[in-house]
Amino acid sequence: MNNSTVLLLFPITVAVIMLGLGLTLTVADFRRVVKYPRAMVVCLVCQMLVLPAICLGLVVGFGLRPELAIGMMLLAASPGGSTASLYSHLFKGDVALNISLTAVNSVLAMFTLPLIVNLSVTGFLGADSSIGLQFDKVVQVFSIVLVPIAIGMALRAKFASFAIRMERPVKILSVIVLVMMIAGVISGLGEEVFEILGDIILVVVLFNLLGMAIGYFGPRLLKVGPRESVASAFEIGLHNAPLSIAIAMSPTLLNSTEMAMPSVTYGFVMFFTALVFGLVVARRVPAPTADRAVTPSGT
């Protein structure tokens, strides 16, 4: 399969991942927001406002070139992925809260992501740049994220046993998709990938660690429980890398391999940083009680 074919398949594969996410969601996951008002508000404020501001400070402070800066801002604007639920499950977090946060974030990101990306393009490339997410492109992003999630939720409501059986295959597919995306970006950049990696690796690691730290300690300072704070840490600190890679590389969206590199790097390092972070904070967390029978899935 050549690289151009891989690029064309990116939106389709991300839509499949979003369909898998929808298979794990119910309407109750949105209703549950009222059960965690303080945790939800703190997490959403951190996710939508604080994290993009921190990302902007990092890219300006490290002097990243425009394409990489925009790629970092795209990553910051992306919602949390279902990997957050997996790590939350492993390290005593409140998985039900993760699922609700992912559901709400996925909806809100369809409004905030184009805004942040377009402001970043204007700020780093100039107002006359042809790159950006205009209305027709926003509709495309909407169609590969919210529509599959809605279909998945409908299938979950009608065929619950089928949805549960599909969670493991979707988890495997998500990992394959992420590896395929990383390979596609690397092959598109060739030897230049090492130079770019040297420019962004520290920024990406700092962004990831700061995201998890803010996600955990912010709620704790505001008297949110430890399990909910762990959930918040992974939701804020682990973004949907496949989605941001697909938006960056899709020929009909941003069409930039270089803009995808921050998400490619992030998609690789977050597994290791999240593991270390989880081992550290799990010592402070009491054993979880059953809120909802959930099997985390996906990337």
pLDDT along the chain (299 residues), means of 10: 56 73 74 76 88 95 94 90 80 82 81 87 76 66 76 84 78 71 68 83 95 92 88 90 82 81 88 91 67 45
* pLDDT score of 8: 60
DSSP 190: T
99-154 pLDDT per residue, tens? 788 878 878 887 888 889 888 988 898 766 656 666 666 677 777 777 887 888 88
Alpha-carbon distance of 208 to 87, in angstroms, equals: 14
Q: Which pLDDT score is estimated for 62?
A: 94
> Which tokens go with 131?
């790159």
Predicted pLDDT of residue 298: 43
> Using CA of residue 161, residue 162, residue 168, residue 170, what is the dihedral sign?
negative
User: Would the CA dihedral through 178, 137, 237, 226 be positive or negative?
Assistant: negative
Residues in the chain: 299
Within the chain, where are the H helices? Answer: 3-23, 27-31, 37-45, 51-61, 66-77, 83-90, 95-125, 135-158, 160-189, 192-221, 226-237, 241-249, 257-281
pLDDT at 109: 82
Task: Give the N- to C-terminal CA distance of the chain in Å, as an integer.
Answer: 23
Per the listing, tokens 């790159």 go with: 131
- Class of the CATH domain delimited by 3-284: mainly alpha
Q: What is the pTM of this model?
A: 0.81
d(CA 131, CA 256): 9
Q: Are 100 and 29 in contact (CB under 8 A)?
A: yes
pLDDT of amino acid 57? 96
Residues 248, 208, 114, 38, CA torsion sign: positive
Report the distance separating Cα 157 and Cα 63, nearest Å.
48
Q: What is the pLDDT of residue 243?
A: 82
pLDDT at position 136: 67
